[in-house]
Amino acid sequence: MYCWGFNASLFQVFLALENKDINNIYLILYNTKSKKLKYKIIYASTSDSASAILITKDKDKKPCFFKQELFSKLALKETLPLSAYKKGDDCLIVDNNLIFNFLQDNLKEFFYSFFDEVNIKNIDTFLISCANNFVYTKILELLNLDKNKCFNEIFKHYGNNDINNIPLNLSLYNGGGIVKFA
């Protein structure tokens, strides 16, 4: 499970690699935290970060599975009240209950529907991207996943890096990052 920005970027890379003249793509991802964040916990736990990934076309065609579902049920719900006389940028409100309830109501069915195409027993490791350890633990409980088959060391070493959580976790998984240099 990945963040939308990373997912969309990766999807575009693989579409571009279908072009016969493109063999290598350098995907650059960055995240900067805004000084407009009023929630001290979010500001303190989010890091400025950047990553770069070289993705190369492979001559061997291997099956790839991608699943995406858009949940438009809340599209018409006002989740961010009009800021009236304030500048819109000065008004960032996160409805944690809405997010948590959405995960509880939709994630399990979405997650397990992926395995209509792929046998879950063939998965060696699950990399799960989320905002913090609390949500990570709740996702493992909700999906009944064996913690030993899941990898998420990002919070232990770096904190939340939003779009860069996945590249950093992949680096840590392969023995890179802070683990390699500590």
Range of the domain at 65: 4-181
Task: Provide the domain count of the chain.
Answer: 1
> Coil, strand or helix: which one is 29?
strand
The rounded distance, in Å, linking the Cα atoms of 156 and 133 is: 9
Q: pLDDT tens for residues 61-109?
A: 777 777 777 777 766 766 555 555 556 555 556 677 877 788 888 888 8
Handedness of CA 71, 75, 81, 85 (dihedral sign): positive
Q: pLDDT tens for residues 121-150?
A: 888 888 888 878 888 888 899 999 988 898
Strand pairing of 150-151 and 126-127? Answer: parallel
The rounded distance, in Å, linking the Cα atoms of 49 and 167 is: 11
Residue 43 CA from chain centroid, whole number: 18
| Strand locations in 2-110 (E) | 24-31, 49-56
CATH of the domain at 120: 3.40.47.10
- Where does residue 33 fall: left (phi above 0), alpha (psi -120 to 50 degrees), or beta otherwise? beta
Residue position matching structure tokens 């939003």:
162
Q: pLDDT tens for residues 8-52?
A: 888 899 899 999 999 999 988 887 766 666 655 555 556 677 888
As a whole number of Å, the CA-based R_g of the chain is 18
- pLDDT at res. 103: 80
Averaged pLDDT of the chain: 78
